[in-house]
């Protein structure tokens, strides 16, 4: 593929801006400056370097972000900073989108991608991808409440009760709750329907992929093939 097209595809700007970057000698291909925008490059094992930063060529990007509390998942955030501000410019330019959302006050694993088919697969209600949340509740969680969550609770505007796939006690006020759907405020509404209240919520797993313990709040990383395979396993 032509270097100019590669640069554009990787989110380094419009055609003109990319051409200028190359002509000005700002672009290295596998460690060597290339000043010809039309140079043909093999994308199979390609690393671009711009401003001293390495960027491996990726046809599509898949990201795991540890969302901190106090961030909105929309690009045009209304009342809080946007999670998009936590990502570098080329990823925003590529048009990454969140794969499902977390509330402003929720934390944990947020997937993002620029692969439309992937986003659809992981957000389609039909697919029922498992998600696990560590839920800190206001009140001690009773056995009756756990049983209610597992049996199914009726939420407003839902035709039938919704049951948790799993509900494991962690401590008096804390549970790990597994759900298959991704409805609006689902965990908060389920806990309210069971007679408790969510104090804080952290998504710890999607499919078979867990939030990495070394990924701090506000940090992100690429999902590699092994991570994507884990993601595809049912939780």
Residues interacting with ligand URA, by CB under 6 A?
Answer: 102-103, 106, 185-188, 201
Neighbours of 107 (CB within 10 A): 22
Q: ∠ CA(153), CA(202), CA(69), 5° rounding?
A: 120
Instruction: Give whichever of 185 and 197 is closer to ligand URA, judged by the CB atom.
Output: 185
The whole-angstrom separation of Cα 144 and Cα 150 is 10
Cα separation of 202 and 91, whole Å?
24
Q: Which of 226, 2, 224, 215 is nearest to 109 (CA)?
A: 215
Nearer to ligand URA, 60 or 185 (CB): 185
Instruction: Closer to ligand URA by CB, 106 or 113: give it.
Output: 106
105 is catalytic: no
Query: What is Dmax (Cα atoms) for the chain?
Result: 69
**Shortest spacing between CB 105 and ligand URA, in angstroms:** 8
Q: How far is the CB of 83 from ligand URA (least distance, A)?
A: 12
| Residue 76 structure tokens | 């045009």
| Beta carbon of residue 133, minimum distance to ligand URA (angstroms, whole number) | 6
In the bound state with ligand URA, the residue whose beta carbon lies nearer, of 67 and 94, is: 67
Q: Do 111 and 98 meet the contact criterion of CB atoms below 8 Å apart? A: yes
Radius of gyration over every alpha carbon of the chain, rounded to an integer in angstroms: 21
Q: Which residue, 8 or 186, has its beta carbon nearer to ligand URA?
A: 186
Contact 33, 25 (CB under 8 A): yes
Closest CB 142 distance from ligand URA, rounded Å: 20
Q: Which two tokens stand for residue 51?
A: 């401003």
Residue 166 half-sphere exposure toward CB, CA atoms < 13 A: 13
State the minimum distance, in angstroms, from the CB of residue 161 to ligand URA.
Answer: 17
Pair 184, 101: CB distance under 8 Å: no
Dist. CA 157–CA 160, nearest whole Å: 9
User: Pick the catalytic residue: 103, 105, 176, 227?
Assistant: 103
Tell me the catalytic residues: 103
């Amino acid at each position: 593929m032509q270097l100019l097209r590669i640069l554009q595809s990787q989110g380094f700007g419009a055609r003109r801006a990319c051409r200028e970057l190359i002509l000005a000698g700002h672009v290295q291909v596998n460690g060597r400056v290339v000043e010809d925008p039309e140079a043909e490059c093999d994308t199979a094992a390609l690393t671009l370097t711009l401003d001293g930063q390495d960027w491996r060529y990726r046809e599509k990007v898949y990201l795991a972000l540890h969302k901190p509390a106090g961030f909105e998942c929309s690009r045009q955030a209304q009342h809080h900073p946007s999670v998009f501000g936590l990502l570098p410019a080329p990823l925003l330019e590529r048009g990454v989108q969140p794969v499902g959302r977390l509330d402003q006050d929720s934390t944990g694993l947020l997937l993002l991608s620029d692969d439309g088919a992937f986003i659809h697969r992981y957000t389609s209600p039909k697919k029922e991808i498992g998600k696990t949340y560590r839920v800190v509740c206001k009140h001690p969680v009773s056995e009756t409440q756990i049983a209610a969550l597992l049996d199914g609770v009726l939420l407003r505007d839902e035709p039938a009760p919704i049951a948790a796939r799993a509900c494991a006690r962690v401590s008096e006020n804390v549970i790990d709750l597994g759900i298959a759907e991704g409805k609006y405020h689902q965990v908060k509404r389920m806990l309210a329907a069971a007679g408790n209240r969510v104090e804080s919520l952290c998504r710890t797993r999607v499919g078979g992929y867990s939030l990495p313990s070394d990924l701090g709040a506000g940090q992100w990383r690429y999902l590699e093939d092994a991570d994507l395979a884990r993601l595809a396993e049912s939780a």
